[in-house]
Amino acid sequence: MSVYFQKFSFGNYNLPEKIAPDTFLSVVIPCYNEPHSLHTLQSLFDCSETLYPVEVMVVINSSEADSVEVLEQNNKTLNDASVWISNHQKEKINFRILNAPNLPAKHAGVGLARKIGMDCAAMRFSEIQKADGVIVCLDADCTVANNYLCELENHFIKNKNTTGCSIYFEHPLSGDLSEQHYHAITDYELFLRYYRLSLLYTGFPNHFHTIGSSMAVRNNIYQKQGGMNRRKAGEDFYFLHKVFPLGGFTVLNTTCVYPSARESMRVPFGTGSAVTKILKQESNLSEEYKSYNFNIFKDLKKLFDVGHVFYELSAEKILSEVDRLPDSVKTFLLQNNISEKIIELQDNSASSTQFLNRFWRWFDGFMVLKFVHFARDNFYANENIEVCCDNLLCGLSKSTNQIPQKKQLLFLMRDIDRNIS
Please check whether residue 6 lies inside any domain of the structure. yes
Domain count, the chain: 2
3-state secondary structure of 100: strand
CA dihedral 294, 402, 251, 143 (to 10 degrees): 110
Same domain, 183 and 329: no
Identify any residues that bridge with 290 across adjacent strands, giving them in sequence order. Answer: 384
Same domain, 157 and 306: no
**E strand map for 199-246:** 215-218
Residue whose C-alpha is closest to residue 229's, from 212, 252, 246: 212
Same domain, 298 and 276: no
Residues of the chain with pLDDT > 70, as a percent, come to 92
Q: What is the pLDDT of residues 372-414, one digit of tens each?
A: 999 999 999 999 999 999 999 999 988 766 667 889 999 999 9
Please check whether residue 226 lies inside any domain of the structure. yes
| CA contacts within 13 A on the Cβ side of 377 | 8
Same domain, 107 and 256: yes
Same domain, 87 and 137: yes
Residue 86 contacts by C-beta under 8 Å, 6 or more apart in sequence?
A: none
3-state secondary structure 140-167: CCCEECCCHHHHHHHHHHHCCCCCEEEE
Give the DSSP H or E segment for 43. Answer: helix 37-45
Domain of 117, CATH number, reads 3.90.550.10
Q: Which of 261, 282, 303 is a domain's end point?
A: 282
Q: How many helices (H) and strands (E) does the chain have?
A: 17, 10
Give the DSSP H or E segment for 343. Answer: helix 338-347
What pTM does this model have?
A: 0.92
Range of the domain at 256: 2-282
User: How confident is the model at residue 182, as a pLDDT?
Assistant: 86
Please check whether residue 409 lies inside any domain of the structure. no
Same domain, 174 and 202: yes
User: How confident is the model at residue 181, as a pLDDT?
Assistant: 82
Same domain, 356 and 215: no
Q: What is the pLDDT of residues 261-279, one digit of tens each?
A: 765 545 555 555 555 565 5
Please check whether residue 405 lies inside any domain of the structure. no
Residues of the chain with pLDDT > 90, as a percent, come to 80
Residue 324 contacts by C-beta under 8 Å, 6 or more apart in sequence?
A: none
Q: What is the pLDDT of residues 131-149, one digit of tens each?
A: 999 999 999 999 999 999 9
Residue 335 contacts by C-beta under 8 Å, 6 or more apart in sequence?
A: none
Please check whether residue 228 lies inside any domain of the structure. yes
User: Which class for 279: exposed (0-12), middle (13-18), buried (19 or more C-beta within 10 A)?
Assistant: middle
